[in-house]
């Protein structure tokens, strides 16, 4: 019989901490995305314990530099980064100092994760820190390499904004199938609205239990993530063309496909991942929206005819979504950014021929790395003189997200901060010459 990774001697509450340890190990030692590690790491924990393991690991990843600074302030010699004792201390301290777990429970549930001498050390270090009454700094620290990279690219206001974004849980953003119902759903969901078709809810709780979810009247989508499809729909609206044909490349799980379908496009949605396509189909089913779903690799697939509108929501480092996926702060390094940028350039170069003359193309990435945005655009424009930037009107964007002087849109941490912030995105709308 396969051995359960939980030990027979585990105290009540320890299996979820053991799962949190496995999650942290997957992200910090093996460089796996947190969401990807979830199934294997939480295989032996059930119900709310699974959510707790995820919450503990995510919170450790948000506050890692501050937790480590506390640990290092008490130990004589720094513990190795990947030592089990350091991992166990991170898990115990984040519960005691951030998640509000009583101190005795925070340490008792974590001690079984370590044996022998290290167990004593964990007990002693945890006790010394909590007895001292020290708290984590109000403004979280970014990992030093990330801070240096982002400060060089965007300046200190951006890194301050990013630190503040880590400090508070992001609100839930919702895109409505019918923008005419914005006020109705804003009231029903008890939220605010930053654009027609958008509702923002603080402390939303379980998404599937909110009104309108089961009926498919809306889907979850950060406001910044909702902008690329808005830009594309606007381009076609300007030309007074309907019904238009759109190709949505790298489409799953389908937030932007749903927007394009709801806006009246005939949509072909292409993605290479079968698992993500399954979620795309579920989303279409729930919202009763229609799209042709194509499982294919954009580097090999090609459409039968060019489209009026083409969206490339390219795979990227995903550093722009660090608020909900704090693992990117620790596992995305320059070689990964370079690899993703090279893939984006290939996808964009190939798909540029699939837009009819006079048609519109939007390229977007949820990245805070210029190599996956501004630099990508410069190279594309140099290669493709048949395309020009089609800057959107400011009124298409929420107040606080500007159109850059060159005509693209770059969202950064710090934007919309008073309203709850937004993800980091790069997007540009282009017109192919007729
Ligand atoms: C940023 S996500 C897309 C999010 C999606 N557009 C949405 O709004 O829900 C990038 C997607 O690109 C897909 N992808 C990566 N490489 C691809 C390729 N060569 N061909 C097609 N899809 C690809 C991934 O499977 C992933 O679903």
ipTM: 0.99
Out of 132, 154, 188, a domain closes at: 132
Same-domain pairing of 181 and 260: no
Report the CATH number that the domain containing residue 50 is assigned in CATH.
1.10.940.10
Measured in angstroms, how far is the CA atom of residue 267 from the centroid of ligand 1? 15
For residue 25, is it within any domain?
yes
Rounded to whole angstroms, how far apart are CA atoms 295 and 199? 31
For residue 30, is it within any domain?
yes
List, in sequence order, every beta strand (DSSP E) within 287-347: 292-295, 307-313
Same-domain pairing of 202 and 110: no
Q: Are 362 and 232 in contact (CB under 8 A)?
A: yes
Say how many residues make up the chain: 434
Range of the domain at 186: 170-220
Same-domain pairing of 198 and 98: no
Same-domain pairing of 113 and 174: no
Same-domain pairing of 119 and 180: no
Same-domain pairing of 229 and 212: no
Same-domain pairing of 109 and 240: no
- Count the domains in the chain: 3
Q: Which helix (H) or strand (E) holds 139?
A: none
Record the pTM: 0.95
Average pLDDT value over all residues in the chain: 95
Residue 374 phi/psi, 5-degree rounding, is -55, -45
Across the range 391-403, mean pLDDT stands at: 98
| Residue 253 in contact with ligand 1 by CB distance below 6 A | yes
- Per-residue pLDDT, 16: 95
| Residue 350 in contact with ligand 1 by CB distance below 6 A | no
pLDDT tens digits along 51-108: 999 999 999 999 999 999 999 999 999 999 889 999 999 999 999 999 999 999 999 9
Confidence of residue 308 (pLDDT cuts 50, 70, 90): very high
Q: Are 429 and 381 in contact (CB under 8 A)?
A: no
Question: Is 422 labeled as catalytic in the residue annotation?
Answer: no
Distances (CA, A) of 204 to 125, 145, 209, 339: 36, 33, 10, 36
Same-domain pairing of 401 and 304: yes
Report the CATH number that the domain containing residue 349 is assigned in CATH.
3.40.50.150
Residues forming beta bridges with residue 271, ordered by sequence position:
295
Instruction: Please pick, among 19, 261, 277, 366, the residue that the annotation labels catalytic.
Output: 366
For residue 1, is it within any domain?
no
Atom of ligand 1 nearest to the CA of 273: 25
């Amino acid at each position: 019989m396969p051995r359960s990774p939980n030990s027979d001697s585990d105290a009540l509450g320890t299996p979820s901490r053991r799962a949190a340890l496995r999650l942290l190990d997957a992200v910090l030692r093996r460089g796996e995305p947190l969401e990807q590690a979830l199934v294997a790491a939480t295989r032996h924990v059930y119900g709310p314990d699974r959510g707790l393991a995820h919450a503990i690991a995510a919170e450790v990843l948000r506050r890692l530099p501050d937790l480590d600074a506390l640990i290092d302030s008490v130990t004589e010699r720094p513990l190795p980064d990947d030592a089990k004792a350091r991992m166990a201390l991170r898990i115990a301290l984040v519960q005691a100092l951030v998640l509000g777990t009583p101190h005795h429970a925070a340490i008792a549930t974590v001690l079984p994760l370590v044996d022998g001498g290290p167990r004593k050390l964990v007990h002693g270090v945890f006790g010394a820190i909590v007895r001292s009454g020290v708290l984590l700094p109000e403004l979280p620290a970014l990992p030093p390499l990330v801070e240096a990279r982002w400060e060089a690219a965007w300046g200190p206001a951006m890194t301050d904004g990013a630190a503040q974004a880590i400090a508070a849980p992001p609100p839930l953003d919702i895109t409505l199938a019918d923008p005419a119902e914005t006020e109705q759903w804003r009231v029903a969901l008890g939220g605010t609205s930053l654009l027609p078709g958008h509702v923002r809810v603080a402390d939303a709780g379980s998404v599937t239990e909110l009104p309108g979810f089961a009926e498919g009247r809306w889907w979850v989508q950060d406001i910044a993530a909702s902008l690329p499809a808005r830009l594309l729909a606007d381009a076609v609206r300007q030309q007074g063309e309907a019904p238009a044909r759109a190709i949505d490349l790298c489409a799953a799980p389908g937030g932007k496909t749903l927007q394009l379908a709801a806006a009246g496009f005939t949509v072909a949605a292409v993605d290479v991942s079968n698992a993500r396509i399954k979620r795309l189909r579920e989303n279409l089913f729930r919202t009763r929206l229609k799209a042709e779903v194509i499982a294919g690799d954009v580097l090999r697939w090609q459409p039968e005819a060019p489209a009026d509108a083409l969206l490339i929501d390219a795979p990227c480092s995903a550093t722009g979504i660090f608020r909900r996926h704090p693992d990117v702060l620790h596992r995305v390094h320059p070689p990964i950014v370079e690899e993703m940028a090279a893939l984006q350039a290939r996808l964009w170069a190939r798909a540029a021929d699939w837009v009819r003359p006079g048609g519109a193309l939007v390229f977007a990435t949820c990245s805070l790395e210029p190599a996956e945005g501004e630099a990508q655009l410069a190279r594309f424009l140099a290669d493709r003189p048949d395309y020009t930037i089609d800057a959107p009107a400011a009124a298409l964007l929420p107040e606080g997200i500007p159109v850059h002087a060159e005509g693209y849109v770059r969202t950064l941490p710090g934007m919309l901060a008073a309203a709850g912030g937004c993800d980091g995105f790069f997007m540009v709308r282009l017109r192919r010459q007729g």
